[in-house]
Chain A
């Protein structure tokens, strides 16, 4: 047990760009990253769900993270990607992000829990990772994907 602590545990994050900010997604949830494809609209679902796509024979719902975060929607560009994440409860869900930057390996020690600043955006965060001189917000996928309305918005 003592040994384990001395070995620095690391986490890998897929760094994505949404709007002006960069976010990290724990790589263990990421199943796949695909280019944007035409989605089939599903009626009677919240606006942030763009629809469903066919990923190798499976039907997967995709959501527009921008809309979920109350940001303005933008046109897809050649950099726009869908990150397919696999969650225990909801199964596979695709997240539309502006750009996928890189994969970073961060020591667990450099990841801090968010305990301050409970504003609109931090609702979706589970922590902040320090890497060189950068700060990367770690997305709380369950909060992003959950169907609940943004609590900050309801206030």
Chain B
């Protein structure tokens, strides 16, 4: 079977499973008794095994199989979760990740057998193997029985192993029984079939469909369990049952089913009408009970179950309902999603940009027209609001929660804690904060650097912490939140903080700065030295951090995403690294201003207020112009001076000042005129003149003219 077309799906899902396993095993370490977690791990390991098997990755399959075995024992209680087991499991996950990476690069799993890990896993099994020899025999059945006691009761009648997976359990309503009787009278055969699909099958629904098709050529399918609709939606485990009316012999029918590939077993027999009728009777007798159970179920966290219950009509939703419910219960309801190539989204985004430029032209044309056409203007306004919402929703499509990046950190911190022999804990908030997909993809490494830094350099060893009266376990916090047009991610630790003196001495020793320079530098400026290439203050180089690559990389990475990094640190109390990233990259809301007859755009996100200032109010601090507003002293920046252009205003005219904010710093930008708010599409100025930092790009105005975008952050 050619599986290459599924490779991408496999890799995606494998990574999801790995992440899920990582998270769950972390949880398990905290709460080794939690059955939900154990079940979840078992399920993930099981599907992993199935996937790997289907794709023909034998080594991966073996490893997951052994993992599954361990969890089977854990699940039935014959094996207790030990701390050393957690370590082995993490080793397993690392090995699996290596396989996955190998597959991604070479589409081959590689040759690493990971025998030692498998041995360790088997040792785990042996530990308790003697005390509970056969307890693991049928955990799956046990579990399903627990979940559906009513179904079990019904199965007693039939004396069968699994009621929901056998054709004998199919209940018929009156009209169906009539059809059946009629068929029998006509001398046709009525067979019940139970078809089991191989567990490794990827497209269960497609296989089932082929079986249906094969059978329909021979006769008529009277009823199926689960319903045809549920089968189509893959709402079944691995087997389904049918009752067919046909003129062919049983062997032919079974052979037809078996001709479909990836079918494991087909079991069939003459459907006995009286049996079916009797079963129907039981079903009717049980009906009230079932209904009661159903009501209970509606309160359960699986609303989809109720929709999956109506396959065979009104009178007999008996054990069939139980069967349909089972998969619904075991799988949490997942949002319906579509995977889209990011390039397609880029194209869409570009088209939206074009549309916004065209809209801006229309707006400009409508306002320049002398006569006022009310209907026209109305439509323009409508268009304006539509394009804005269109832009917003396209942006939202591109937004993904940073969760996908940060969820690997708890595991990383755990490993770091072991490696560095410092107890520490990572606390994360705001994982749901969303950022543009391209930004999220890039932000992982810088964050990892910062967390490693905090773990290695920031946090003190347990002994030192105790001496200083801190809890022995160090804390690292990762907080993400949205702040206006920015997303802020903070990495904070309660460790030692940055030793400014040590940094200063190191810088002098390295010749980065001279002693005279050092004397005049503020603490803040010295901390900035950390971002210089090849600067590490760790006394000894560890393999965690301190190889001198790091902070400079972090800084340049963040800056390449048009973001910025800031550090706040207090010696003895810890440090905070603040990363500020723009929410969007392509289209922004701006304030259009005029300076010396030229139009400029300033991002609205950085503007806090607009002030009208009398020249008399200007004060001087260190011979620099400042204004004093509402208790704050704000330095003035005369844009016309920075932009080398004559202001059109006289010296006695009132100043229009746009107060802009960067972090907690404020500045007042003096402009000549305000034009108003406008949504603009950011265009690059090109590499040719990408020199001046204060210009972050350009945009095309409604009249086709180009206006430059001022980067307020660079001005402050």
A residues near B (Cβ < 8 Å) are 38-45, 49, 51-54, 57-61, 89-93, 145
Contact = CB atoms under 8 A, between A and B. Distances in A.
Contacts of A42: 685, 689, 692, 695, 708
A50 to B, nearest CB: 11
Given A40-B706, A54-B704, A59-B685, 11 more contacts: A40-B698, A43-B643, A43-B644, A43-B692, A44-B644, A57-B700, A58-B683, A59-B686, A60-B686, A90-B687, A93-B688
A52 B643 CA distance: 15
B705 A54 contact: yes
A61 B645 contact: no
Interface string B617-654: 00000000000000000000000001111000000000
Contacts of B128: none
B706 A53 contact: yes
A127 B133 CA distance: 89
B357 interface: yes
Nearest to B597: A41
A49 B695 CA distance: 15
Contacts of A54: 700, 704-706
B629 to A, nearest CB: 28
A61 B684 CA distance: 10
B525 interface: no
B688 A59 contact: no
A145 B705 contact: no
Contacts of A43: 642-645, 692, 694-695
A57 B686 contact: no
22 contacts: A41-B598, A41-B645, A42-B689, A42-B692, A42-B695, A43-B645, A43-B695, A49-B688, A49-B689, A52-B706, A53-B706, A54-B706, A57-B354, A59-B684, A59-B686, A59-B699, A59-B700, A59-B706, A61-B685, A91-B688, A93-B686, A145-B688
Given A40-B706, A90-B686, A59 B692 contact: no
Q: Is the interface of A mostly helix, strand, loop or mixed?
A: strand
Contact of B683 (A39, A59, A93): A59
B260 interface: no
Nearest to B645: A43
Q: When A and B form their complex, which 4 residue pairs have the shortest distance between CB atoms, in order from nearest?
A: A44-B692, A40-B706, A59-B683, A43-B643
B698 A45 contact: no
B418 interface: no
A89 B688 CA distance: 9
A53 B703 CA distance: 12
Contact of A57 (B357, B689, B691, B707): B357
A84 B698 CA distance: 18
B688 A40 contact: no
Nearest to B682: A59
Contacts of B685: 42, 52, 59, 61
Chain B, interface size: which category? 20 to 34
Contacts of A61: 685-686, 688-689
B642 A59 contact: no
Interface of B: 354, 357, 598, 642-645, 683-689, 691-692, 694-695, 698-700, 704-708
A139 to B, nearest CB: 16
A91 B694 CA distance: 21
Nearest to A52: B706
A92 B684 CA distance: 12
B694 A44 contact: yes
Nearest to A92: B686
Nearest to B358: A57
A154 to B, nearest CB: 20
Contacts of A45: 689, 691-692
Most chain B CB inside 10 Å of its own CB: which residue of A51, A57, A89:
A57
Contact of A38 (B686, B687, B691, B705): B705
A98 to B, nearest CB: 22
B362 to A, nearest CB: 15
Contacts of B354: 57
A84 to B, nearest CB: 12
Contacts of B644: 43-44
B645 A59 contact: no
Nearest to A145: B688
A91 B698 CA distance: 16
B675 to A, nearest CB: 15
Contacts of B699: 59
A60 B645 CA distance: 22
A95 B687 CA distance: 16
A43 B598 CA distance: 11
Contacts of A90: 686-688
A65 B46 CA distance: 69
Contacts of A41: 598, 645
A59 B699 CA distance: 7
Contacts of B698: 40, 52, 59
Contacts of A39: 706
Contacts of A51: 706
B643 to A, nearest CB: 4
Contacts of A49: 688-689
A5 B110 CA distance: 51
A89 B612 CA distance: 45
A59 B706 CA distance: 7
A54 B688 CA distance: 15
Given A42-B695, A44-B694, A91 B687 contact: yes
Most chain B CB inside 10 Å of its own CB: which residue of A40, A51, A53:
A40
Contacts of B684: 59
A117 to B, nearest CB: 29
Contacts of B708: 40, 42, 52
Contacts of A53: 706
A43 B708 CA distance: 10
Nearest to A44: B692
Nearest to B353: A57
Contacts of B706: 39-40, 51-54, 59
Contacts of A93: 686, 688
A91 B689 CA distance: 11
Given A57-B354, A57-B700, A61-B685, A40 B707 contact: yes
A51 B645 CA distance: 14
A93 B683 CA distance: 15
Contacts of A145: 688
A109 B541 CA distance: 63
Contacts of B707: 40
